[in-house]
Structure 1
Amino acid sequence: MTDRSADNDDEIERQKLGDRLKEARKYLGLKQEEVATYLKIPRTALTDIENGQRRVEAIELTRLAKLYRQPVGFFTGEDEASASLPIDVAHLARRAADLSKTDRDELGRFAEYLRARSKAKA
């Protein structure tokens, strides 16, 4: 792999990471200023992170994952199953994992009901 190719791959990965971070922040209804204050960085630095223009330090990513209630692997793409899901669906899946088997079965039936209702409306 050439240096130029590696640089391009890094840019793409930073952009994906930034997109996931921005989506998680917005899903939780947090403002950039609030998150920047939590991280103790300027808001412009957070903007650069979300735009893929600034690298994220490991400690920053760990703190963001904690704040956004997601595993670090979700943001880095290492947890492909979660990373490929919309943020709200991944959040629901993690919450459902804590339910009893009976409750998860009931949740599944409710999801099927909602899907059927949605199809009937269409």
Structure 2
Amino acid sequence: MTTPAPGTLAWFEVASDDPEGTQKFYGNLFDWTFESSGSLTNGGLDYRNITASGADTPMGGVFGTGGKLPNHAVFYILVADIDATCADAEQLGGSVINKSPARPGTPAFAYLRDPSGNQFGIFTPAS
């Protein structure tokens, strides 16, 4: 699998307090398959990678919030440098909501808001 170029819409996530129901809905609607992500489930999170029918690699995930976050969906853009992209976003009128450093086997990521208030994510691939 090749890594997408920086600036590419490269992932999406559906956060839900009912991951089983979310999986059933999208699985039946789009014929998607789901697989628990071992690297994240070890940390106690319920995360399920989504793969489209006929695809070789996952394209997104369902995150079980356990009711600790509002239900939402977000898209992620791949970037070369989290810190530089966060600084650029702020210079352009956006804001950084949260930034998480990379951990072994997981990507570094951040949640941002554009000047209109829309939330989106950025990430660098896991090493």
The TM-score, its normalising length taken from structure 2, stands at 0.28
Structure of higher RCO (CA pairs closer than 8 Å, 6+ residues apart): 2
Greater helix share, structure number: 1
Larger radius of gyration: 1
The TM-score, its normalising length taken from structure 1, stands at 0.29
Greater strand share, structure number: 2
